[in-house]
Amino acid sequence: MKIIDRLKEDKIHISFEVFPPKTDAGFEKVIAATDAMAKLNPAFISVTYGAGGGTSKNTAKIASHIKDDLGVVSLAHLTCASSTIEEVRDVIENLKENGIENILALRGDIPEGMPFPNGNRFRYAYELIEEIRKHGDFCIGAACYPEGHVENEHKAEDIRYLKQKVDSGVDFLTTQMFFDNDIHYNFLYRIREAGINVPVLPGIMPMTSEKQMKRSQELSGTVFPRRFLALLDRFGSSAAAMEQAGIAYATDQIIDLLSNGVNNIHIYTMNKPHVAAAIMNNLSEIIKA
């Protein structure tokens, strides 16, 4: 099933994300986490793509397992910065052969020390999107950044590039994590004004540890509101308390989004099925309403 068809349904959809193991030794652990999340009845489960191709070989394998063995719609991430054009084409063909209908097209991080761009790689995500469109009838998702992409100085420029991506053949967008819903609502207003009308899934990250928070801020430059920083200051020294508080904060974000008519939510679960289960338990009756 194509994700865009699911998103068009007039109901609430909650989806999860998992990432492949860094080494083959961790494969079974990731599969166990994925199996546990599938029991929570998500709208779909996305599988990330390893930087530098290191874990990308398992993306299609896990996405196929989700679709074929668990009966859940799967979304395979595909990045292009770390791969040659031919390597990208091989991955697309592999996804097609495995019956994967949904791809999240991303430029991805540039590997440290690698000259970029060069003539044998796609420079921008929109080029990857155009390439995917040539090779099959895929449902294509892309990323967007409510607080602006770290490489773009001005938000207007960021939205112009986003529209270029969408016009290249994007069916839906998923946002980078954010912790202030007003940022998301403002972002939606600005992109709709720019003529971007595809579904947008807010990406919610349950922040369950101080280390995770610092790492996320380094990678994305996201802004933590005072309310969240107070939570961290009060509970950050206790792993159990911080996890519980982080789950509560993410749940509160989701409830606010749902209350304001946002029916499709994507949760960055960090391969933690117990966190996903806790959030779904908090939403059990809300989802039915």
The residues assigned a catalytic role are: 17
What's the CA gap between 153 and 189, in Å, rounded? 20
Burial class (CB in 10 A: 0-12, 13-18, 19+), 281: exposed
Return the SS3 of 112.
coil
Give the DSSP H or E segment for 186. Answer: helix 181-193
Burial 135-168 (b: 16+ CB within 10 A, else e): eeebbbbbbbbbbbbeeeeebeebbebbbebbeb
Residues in the chain: 289
CB 107, CB 80: distance < 8 Å: yes
CA 180, CA 198: separation in Å to the nearest integer?
22
Task: Give Dmax (Cα) for the chain.
Answer: 53
